[in-house]
Amino acid sequence: MKYYSLNNPNIKVSFKEAAITGIAQDKGLYFPESIPQLDTDFIANIENYSDNEIAYRAIAPFIGDEIPEEKLRQIVEETLSFPFPLVVVEKDIFALELFHGPTMAFKDVGARFMSRCLNYFTKDDADKKITILVATSGDTGGAVASGFLGVEGIDVVILYPSGKVSDVQEKQLTTLGQNITALEVQGSFDDCQDMVKKAFLDDALKDVRLTSANSINIARWLPQMFYYFFAYKALKAKGKPLAVAVPSGNFGNICAGMMAHKIGLPIGHFIAATNANDTVPRYMDTQQYTPQQTIETLSNAMDVSNPSNFVRILELFRNEFGALNSGLSTYSFTDEQTIATLKKLYNENGYLADPHGAVGYLGLKKYLSENPDFTGVFLETAHPVKFADSITSNLNIEITIPEQIITVMNGEKKTIAVDSYEGLKEFLSNRQ
Ligand SMILES: *Cc1c(COP(=O)(O)O)cnc(C)c1O
């Protein structure tokens, strides 16, 4: 499979090159040059296949012969080394829990898949080390650090805004050591993001072989299709079309779901639920794309006002607004609504959600109130313990801390302070 730049369809690269470089030279996101079609018998009998087999069949056409079948099956198996339970929340409404991986956020799947692909592609040129450079507002850093820990030939450098990530998130970034380095920036997430962008454009750093590991990278983006297959497999017997609600920030996850649909997975409807950062819901109302200043909310992993992956969604629908509008509904919710929903879910349904999952649930309920003939699923994207402050203060309960988190909280924080782009550049140039 070849991938073209969304800025210029004439720039085409292999899966390998797209995964290693992250973004095209003209700064366009990569997009597959054709949409594979899955075998209809396979979809009709999906309940007879294991999760590993389903995931392998979904991703294989996007990679072609660039990774041998046996190796790709191994990568898929190692990626999916934890469960994805579907939990009944109320009649016809289910939470697909994506947070049972090592860092307890759904980004584990993409990070684990991407790290193994890069390791496969670079293992034979060990003298050409790759450096993953990533800015994080919280969950990306932890998932990438854990996914790439100990992977030979790859260094990971994470920039995070000092004092602006949760305690758990900070420990997940700063305690692992080995090939992972955390740079603590006195500034905001946007400052970190700006420094990363500058480094990618800096000719003086050409020899450092920098790449990104956010959902712009196809090797992190595409494996997120798996969740939608698992939801469909588990709920197929209900016999009703599926409406899937996705708490959305950079729109990588929902865009992967829509790609799963395009290759043949019969999902009935998609719902993107956002917090106050409502650029896409406003676009769907007005067809005007006007990002505004980012607003800080309780669901901070979705505090994104200019979602990178939205251009991919437009491309999936060939920029036909009518088609997009009939397959996707979008809604935005306030922190007050999110808190009320956390309380309602806990007290009335006995379900402990996190603020991101609560936003997803709100979107699902809103859609189902006008379209009742669906089975509803919302994606629970993080374990509530990652946002313990908002849970404890609003629900008056203590959360049992899972084993993965206890271990990480006992680790020793190690960071390097960086306060300007020059500091970052010096660090990147002077490493051995
Ligand atoms: C990253 C993240 C999201 C948003 O996912 P996108 O793919 O960026 O839309 C939602 N919830 C949690 C917990 C996250 O970490």
Strand ranges inside 81-124, DSSP E: 86-90, 93-97
- Band of pLDDT at residue 209, cut at 50, 70 and 90: confident
For ligand 1, the distance from its centroid to the CA atom of residue 304, given in whole angstroms, is 10
Q: Is 141 in the pocket of ligand 1 (CB under 6 A)?
A: no
Highest mean pLDDT of the ranges 174-178, 383-387, 392-396: 174-178
Q: Whose CA is nearest to atom 1 of ligand 1?
A: 301
Helix (H/G/I), strand (E/B), else coil: 272: strand
- Band of pLDDT at residue 432, cut at 50, 70 and 90: low
Q: What count of Cα atoms within 13 Å lies in the side-chain half-sphere of residue 55?
A: 24
d(CA 82, CA 98): 9
Position 382 scores a pLDDT of: 93
CB 23 within 8 A of CB 11: no
Helix (H) or strand (E) holding 177: none
Q: 112: phi > 0 → left, psi -120 to 50 → alpha, else beta; which?
A: alpha
Q: What value does the mean pLDDT of the chain take? A: 94
Task: Specify whether 107 is catalytic.
Answer: yes
Q: Is 245 in the pocket of ligand 1 (CB under 6 A)?
A: no
- Per residue in 160-177, pLDDT (tens digit) is 999 888 888 899 999 999
CB 61 within 8 A of CB 90: no
Q: Is the pLDDT of residue 294 over 90?
A: no
- Band of pLDDT at residue 126, cut at 50, 70 and 90: low
In sequence order, which residues have a C-beta less than 8 Å from that of residue 416 and are 6 or more positions away? 181, 182, 183, 184, 427
Of 142, 110, 288, 294, the closest CA to residue 216 belongs to 110
- All structural domains of the chain, each given as residue ranges with its CATH number in brackets, are 85-104+220-395 (3.40.50.1100)
Q: Is 302 in the pocket of ligand 1 (CB under 6 A)?
A: yes
Q: Is 384 in the pocket of ligand 1 (CB under 6 A)?
A: no
Mean pLDDT for 380-402 is 87
End-to-end distance of the chain based on CA atoms, in angstroms? 35
Mean pLDDT for 322-350 is 97
**Cα angle, residue 188 at apex, residues 182 and 189 outer, rounded to 5°:** 65
d(CA 77, CA 18): 22
Kindly give the number of the ligand 1 atom that is closest to the alpha carbon of 304.
8
Mean pLDDT for 249-276 is 97
Q: Is the pLDDT of residue 44 over 80?
A: yes
Mean pLDDT for 112-137 is 88
DSSP state of 376: E
Name the active-site residue from 71, 107, 365, 386. 107
From 212, 246, 253, 333, give the residue whose CB has the most ligand 1 atoms within 8 Å, as the site to mutate. 253
- Per residue in 46-96, pLDDT (tens digit) is 999 999 999 999 999 999 999 999 999 999 999 999 999 999 999 999 999
For ligand 1, the distance from its centroid to the CA atom of residue 381, given in whole angstroms, is 7
Burial class of residue 406, CB neighbours in 10 A (0-12, 13-18, 19+): exposed
In sequence order, which residues have a C-beta less than 8 Å from that of residue 431 and are 6 or more positions away? 155
d(CA 176, CA 149): 8
